[in-house]
Structures are given as C-alpha cells and as structure tokens.
Structure 1
Amino acid sequence: MLQAVPTSSELDDLVETTTRMRAGIEKVVTGRPDLVRTTLAVLLAEGHLLLEDVPGVGKTTLAKALARSIDCTVGRIQFTPDLLPSDLTGVNIYRSQTHEFEFRPGPVFSHIVIGDEINRASPKTQSALLECMQEAQATVDGHTYPLPRPFLVVATQNPVEMEGTYPLPEAQRDRFMARLTVGYPSVDSELAMLDLQETADPLADLRPATDAAHVGRLIDTTRRLYAAPGVKRYVVDLVTATREDQGLRLGASPRAAIQLLRAAKGVAALAGRDHVLPDDVQELAEAVLAHRLLPSTESRLSGRGTDAIVRDIVARIPLPTPTAVRSSRSVG
C-alpha cells in the first residue's frame, strides 16, 4: 500500500523552512526568485544541479548561498585539467605505525558538493562522480562507502570558453536533474546588488535556516506527494516525444522521466500542495530535459537548440484531462 500523502503540519513545516532559506539566498542572489525557487525544488527532489552560464553572473555564488543556508558539510572542488579521480573520492593511506591502510575521504563525502567549472576536468575525472551522483556511494580500492544524506552536487560550467575544457559525457549530463542558466540581472536588481555589496559581503552574513537532518525529512515529505496517473502519463508522453522527434538524435532516458516527476513534486511542495499538477511538470520540463538531449545534424545547422525543441514538444503534447488529474489518491 502506498504511503499516506503528507499531513498539513508536515507541509507547513516544509513551506516555513524553505521560505526562510529562500529569503536568505535571495539576499545574496538578488533579482532571481525563480532561479532560487527551482534550486530549492531540486534540493527537495534529491537531485543534482548544473549551472551553466557566462562568467561573473553568480553561478558559484548561488551554490555557496545554498550551502550556507543549511547547517551541513560542504565540499568545494575546483576542477582543473590535472585533477585525478582520487582527488574527488579519497585515497587509502598506509600508516606505518599500525601497518594498516586508512581511508581518507575526499570532498564528495559532504552533504553539498560544489563543483566549480566541472568541464575543465578530464572525462576520466568527471566519471568518478557517476556512481556518487546515481547511487549516493563511492567505491575506492574495492570498498564501497555510503555518502551522507542529503547529497547534492551543484556544478558550474562556462559554455562560451572552449579552450582547456572537455564536454560533459552524456552519462554525466543525464545524472543532473536540472540545468539552469543564471542570466544577467535586471537594471534595478544590479543596482540593488551594487548597494548591497558596496561595503559588505552578504554571503558572509548568511546564516543557516535549517540543518541536514531536517532537510532529509523534507525530502521524505516531498517524495510522498501525490501524483495522479494522468500526471504520470503526461510525464511519460513528454519523454517519449523526445525519442520520436526528428530534430533529435538522442531522446530522454527513463531516468529523465523519474527525475522530471520528482522535480515537479519539489515545485508542488514549495507551493504547499500535497499533489502534483500538470503545470508543475510543464514549468520544469525544459530545465530537466533539454540538457540530456542531442540535436540532429539538421537541427544544429539550422541553429535550433534542444531548449527550443522541448518547448515545442510541451506546446503540442495535450495536457491530461481534469478527471485524470483528480483521480483518487491513496491515504494509507
């Protein structure tokens, strides 16, 4: 039997906690409330986040602000071409005093891992994150170690600078729940940012709104949100459409369908609802699906990117009927 949907008190606690987190983060990342909201939705969905944009728009600042809003362990990795897999996962060190090997964990053994400019590391090093991101564990010298919960990778990359970078492998991109672009702030937001940071660093003043254990409970609450069969079918229809679109040579994987539904639950939870609406799926379809897709040669030559293709798919796939969305839910 399915678990009961969250109670009103559980949802109230989730909304109250995430509201405090949003307020703190938005003091650091000004003028981008939608970006902060989606970031928190990915956190509640227990996913991983890829921030992709030009230098200087606040990608790393957003990652740091999210990390500081939670009282948890944080691992920072500056990806460079000479970085080794063991620099991420850790190494076994021989202790001559005890004649035994001691495992020294790497930065991935943190609740939040900030990977700065992830595409500067070689594919060999990037692949060290595959097991961590999918299975929340790391295997070193034949021994498997569990990672803490919650476990969130927030990686940044610069899409315009190609020298000294390596494209992320498709398997790696597929493990990121969502890809977001920060974008330039509005004139008013940039003026507010100048005033705010003229004499102080707002990031230094940011205090945790909750702790890791509490976030783990909020994730469990989010998982229990109700998704009607019609909403689930809508998710599958969107994903299937990417596999059949002539403008793509690689569609979305089943993992993409799972993560799209989880991300939609994150958005619904932030709104204080105990159920998912088709609008929640639509809102995150581009962020969750576009970075996993590969355009066909014709699409690349015509300048039609995967973001535009996903928008077209969302526009043409019919929404589920109200009856399908209001299907009976399990309460115990």
Structure 2
Amino acid sequence: MKKVAIVAGGNSGEHDISLLSAKNVFDILDKRLFKPYLIHIKGVDWTCTAEDGTVYSIDKNDFSLTMANEKIFFDVVFIAIHGTPGEDGKLQGYFDMLNIPYTGCDLFTSALTFNKYFCNLTVAKLGIPIAASLHFYKGTPIDAENVRQVCGFPCFVKPCNSGSSVGVSKVHNEEELYRATTEAFKHDKQILIEAYLAGKEVTCGVLESKGEIVPLTVTEIISENEFYDFESKYTDNLHSMVTPAPISKEAFQKIMDFSKKIFLFLDCKGVARIDYIVTADGTPYFLEINTIPGQTAMSIIPHQIEYLGKELQETYTEIITNALL
C-alpha cells in the first residue's frame, strides 16, 4: 500500500479552496491501494492532523512525519495547493531535490503556466488566438491612453501569478483602471491588462490516461456576476455549468484540439483545465491554463469526469499511478 501525502493550503487567497479540494481527494481515494495523509501547509507551518486530532509537524529536511514513534516517508505526493507554493513550481522544486514523485507538472511547466503573460506568449506560438494585452511590473508607470489604444475599455486587470480570479477586476474606464491596478499589485509584482472579449466562457479538461492525452469535454460556465470571479466560482447559486457547451461543432472540436496541443506543448502532466472565450463568430480565444484545477464537489474537472461516466476514484488512482512511473 502506497503512502500518499495530499498537500493542501498554501499561501494565497486560494488557501481555503485548496483544503476543500484536498479533503475531497482524501475521501474519494481508493483506501485499498493508498494510505492517504492530509498535509496542511501555511507559511512555515507544515503539519498533519491524525484521526484523533493530534497535530504532527512535518520534518522539512526530508518531508517525513514521525507519528507514534514511527518515522513515515511518503511514496508520492498529491499536490492539491492552488496558487503558491503548489502551482508555481516552488513545491515541485523542493520535491525534485528530495527525489519524491508528485502529481502534476514539473517545476518549469508549473512556473511558466502560472504566469499569465508568459504563458500567453508561449501559447500564441502555436497559432492559438489570445486577447490583446499589456504587461507591467510594479512601479512601472501605466499610461491609460496606451491601455485604451491596445486593449480598449472594458478590459481586465489581472495579477500575473494568481488563480481563482483572485485580484482580477473588470475595468470600464480610466478612473477604474487606477483602482484595479492598485488592487492587482497587492497580489503580485506583475500584472496583465487584457482586452475584454465578448462571448461564451468555456473550459476543457485534459487528462493523461492510459498513455494518451485525452481532452475530456467542453463546458460552458455561466456566472451571475459580471464575470466568473472568485465569489461566483465558489458560490453554488452564482454560477452554473452546461456540458456539453452550446457552441458550434466546429468551435467545440477546435477547443478539444487546442487543449490537447497546449497540454502536449507545455509538457503538462496529470490533469489540467484550459479556459477560453468563444466569440460570436465561433473563434476560441485562450484565456489561461490551470495545472492544479479544483477538485471540490462543485469543481469543473470532477463534473466533466462524471459527465463522461468515469469514476473519480479511478481517475485519482490513474493520476497517482502515473506520477509513480
């Protein structure tokens, strides 16, 4: 029986969502094959809580756990941290140094895909449409007229290295631009200002399965808020999902093809979710890729897997087994 450390928490605004994802994985995991341990990471505190409520510290020198006078080493890590340090390459580098296998992408792919600007540049090399955008480091003057000319209004202001739409604002004019950039810089030292694209927001999960890269299906995301922000993502009555997405067959197939191509080109592993906007003329524009997508009961990947008639437990077994290869 393999010992699986499910790491959760992290140091971003997605901390609590990560805990929900990890708990869902913990509950669903096949206990006949795996012995799961839920590891909570918050700043310098790395802990594991036993069934009796006792809290044990993780030895960061070798990522081990001493419980009931037994030193426990893990066979594999299931990374369920959304945001830093789980989705940006930091934990991946740590586990690489300790030679401990883990689920998901490696250090380089994680760091690249977590930065929205540099990921966009990379995906554009595949000929996949992306929105017009501007990139700024903290302290760089932002010319509102240049933003108007390149991106137009409305537009989106986003921290480059953040997930779950944390720190993202939709901006309608120059006055709102200042407030939005100030807010985004609270979350990151880099921001992306991106043109607004009118259309349907859709997403496509991609899974490594039986040696193949398999796009799952395309789901439309309908938000009750102005856009699919943090609140609407994690509040049941503020969003809904339609699978398969009500778009043309051509757009649907193009998204499936794009998603497989992106997953392969970026050397992704395990499971990922890729978001798009489909404009009125049927063109899919790449928005972003999530290399550690949510695994909560209301998350999109579990929804798509269940829609296809697959067992979530079997999927998690496959993800962990592939990480051990």
TM-score by length of 2: 0.26
More helix by share: 1
* Bigger strand fraction: 2
Normalising by structure 1, we get a TM-score of: 0.26
Q: Which has the higher contact order (CA 8 A, sep 6+)?
A: 1
